[in-house]
Structure 1
């Protein structure tokens, strides 16, 4: 029996990550209003509206909800693509730095390892920056003490980390450990990382226009409160259940847009940035465990035997 045989049913009743806790109180309120309208209609104190009278408002509200949800998902998906580029560029930078930068002195290996870990520090600093969190112990293990103290004082830690990586590459070029073509290629990857950072900041600092969000909520509230008058004639005292279900559906769609429009937070529906950064760190540590091939001084050819990694 497959382990996920009942996955669909478990997902249907799962509370974590769903909009049920936020939407259900509002839907119950609309259902209770419908019950009151049903009692009033029974005693002749309320009127019944034709069902087709709300046809045009239904279409308009549906289009607004679709636009709202699509706009929010577009922001979510763009954020995911930007973090995918950050992941790929980090891997490419780490691989090229590890293989291309020539080691002339014993401490060069340690400097390369420290720079590779700075790539992870850039991703972690970007995550903290987008979440509005200050520099914490996540960066302490992948930076030196001086770097960590410096980042705690900076207004924009990711840019400082990007500067350190660029500065390291420039130093290696001046020491003739990199040629100009390699330096240009590596600096282009760093520029791409900074561009992705800017793209994430654009998503974060450009929310859905307030007037649009307020107007949509107002229309939803008016529609859900007018719905009892349209269904009370056909459903009587069952109108409360019908209104609750319809309200839950519409309010849930709107809440989904609210949940995913800012994809960089800590909510279950946000991007798994902690996991992405942890995967980057594992990738870098795995790369460090693989030593670049050694050049043969006599023949100036690459040796077929990999260098042993120092413990």
Structure 2
């Protein structure tokens, strides 16, 4: 059984403190060096008698106020990150449910019906990939090409909103199955509602992506952080003298690092180390739909009634999520 990442991290706690990938060191290091240089300059001017320290300057921005602003910034960013994860969890679960309903409820009367059912199942896997690319601002690529017919692939490349196009094709498939008598009205209503929930979660993801933290708040927080870091040497130079530069760099790393963490996780749908593992989620969805496809193929080969799924002769492939 795969272990939760947290259990693995507890065994490599000290090693993780040296890890650069996924940390904010590279992002804040230039700013920390700049603040450290300012601290060193203040130390030199104080040591040579050109500067009289004014500790009151370092207290113009109360530590408590700055701390509360940073906590609010980080909590807001993490809430967006968690909302994105919940939305994708709902997408995966809803797509699985719809795939299960298509497999079990949609009847088949000829080989063409069987092909259309398999195509619909793979469209569900393509839906998650299309949503991932849509949220990342990327074009439709070979990831989707392997899941849809060629004519669908070219239509998706021209579509303004590929996930919505796939949802429309799935809705059209359900409508046609109802017209052919392969679904009754109640089944059609149930499956259409499930598909609607899938589209609703797309809107949730777009809401997170297209509603950033208000610019005024982000700018004001950065201005306060800059003032705090640049005025801090005047507060401590009398006590630290030549150690003011290193202390200033360390303190700026603390406060600037917290602010940068908020920036990292604010948009959880990208490709950075701290973003959601959308590639892994899409691969999981693809495997799930292929499991259903294999069940459909097994049932057809066994010559069973289309509403009966043969499980005895099919062994689900083992895969790690």
> Normalising by structure 2, what TM-score?
0.89
Q: How much does 1:285 deviate?
A: 0.6
Q: 1:303 to 1:95 in 2, by over 3 A?
A: closer
Partner residue of 1:288?
293
Structure 2 residue aligned with 1:175: 180
Corresponding residue number in structure 2 for 1:243 = 248
Whole-angstrom CA distance in 2 between matches of 1:7 and 1:307: 43
Q: What is the Cα deviation at residue 44 of structure 1? A: 2.0
Q: Distance in 1 between matches of 2:211 and 2:18?
A: 34
**What corresponds to 1:278 in structure 2?**
283
Structure 1 residue 112 corresponds to structure 2 residue 117: yes
Structure 1 residue 149: Cα displacement: 0.6
CA distance in 1, matches of 2:309, 2:95: 27
1:29 equivalent to 2:53? Answer no
Deviations 1:32-89 (A, max 9, x none): 1101101111122222233796275211111111111111111111011000000000
Q: Which runs of 5+ in 2 are unaligned?
A: 1-6, 315-321
CA distance in 2 between counterparts of 1:185 and 1:105 reads: 24
> SS state of the match for residue 289, structure 1?
helix
Q: Which runs of 5+ in 1 are unaligned?
A: none
Greater shift in the superposed pair: 285-294 or 261-270: 285-294
Which of 172, 185, 189 pairs up with 1:184? 189
The change in CA–CA distance for 1:122 and 1:302 in structure 2 (over 3 A counts) is: closer
What TM-score does the superposition give when structure 1 sets the normalisation length?
0.92
Q: Does the CA-based 8 Å contact 1:39-1:237 persist in structure 2? A: yes
- Count of residues paired in the alignment: 304
RMSD, aligned α-carbons: 2.4
CA shift, 1:110, in A, is 1.1
Q: Is the 8 A contact 1:51 1:231 kept in 2?
A: no
1:259 is aligned to 264
2:112 aligned with 1:146 = no
